[in-house]
Amino acid sequence: MDVVYCSHTGFTREYAQLLGRAEKLRVFSLEEAGYQLEPGSEVFFLGPLMAGTITGLRAAQKRFCVLGACGVGMSPPAPQVLETLARRNGTGDLPLFYLQGGWAPDRVGWLRRHGVQWVTRSLRRQLEEKGEGRTPEEQIQLEFLIRGGSFVKPENLRPIRDWLAAGGGPTGTAP
């Protein structure tokens, strides 16, 4: 199995490369995979979330045999995130994961930056109104929403690595 990813601002690429290094798997962008991998090859796919959609997953599924997929977003992982991802992306029983990536307002165009700022405005306002009463975590969250930042950490890959170790990856190795 190979790792295939799509990434606009680099956070998903970082996770894909960390996963490839940790599991000794080859890593390709979706574009590279298009000419370096045979159609139907078994892959694990990672893509950034945009309005709840895992970017590139559809295209990856059309060309490859996607055995598992991961959405990378800016929100902290919430309890229902996987259920919502499965519903929004119509993935059925496909093993799904979610990782918190980051937010890089200076690496996206005006329209996308303002789109995200619009969607997060009420949270930002709530945090701003707390003023001095913000907890350290809330302060970090507010700065993240305004200036951006990264939550990429190798240890976040644990659930995917455990799934791979349990044989959830390549065909024929399931326990």
| Contact positions vs ligand FMN (CB under 6 A) | 7-13, 48-52, 72-75, 101-103, 108, 112, 115-116
Q: At closest approach, how far in Å is the CB of 48 from ligand FMN?
A: 3
User: 8 or 168, CB closer to ligand FMN?
Assistant: 8
Q: At closest approach, how far in Å is the CB of 143 from ligand FMN?
A: 15
User: 58 or 173, CB closer to ligand FMN?
Assistant: 58
- Separation of CA 13 from chain center: 9
User: 10 or 168, CB closer to ligand FMN?
Assistant: 10
Contacts of the segment 103-108: beta carbons below 8 A, 24+ positions apart: 103/74, 103/144, 103/145, 103/148, 103/149, 104/9, 104/10, 104/11, 104/148, 105/147, 105/148, 106/148, 107/8, 107/9, 107/10, 108/8, 108/9
Q: At closest approach, how far in Å is the CB of 26 from ligand FMN?
A: 19
- What does the alpha-carbon distance between residue 171 and residue 98 come to, in Å, rounded to a whole number? 22
Q: At closest approach, how far in Å is the CB of 138 from ligand FMN?
A: 18
User: 61 or 75, CB closer to ligand FMN?
Assistant: 75
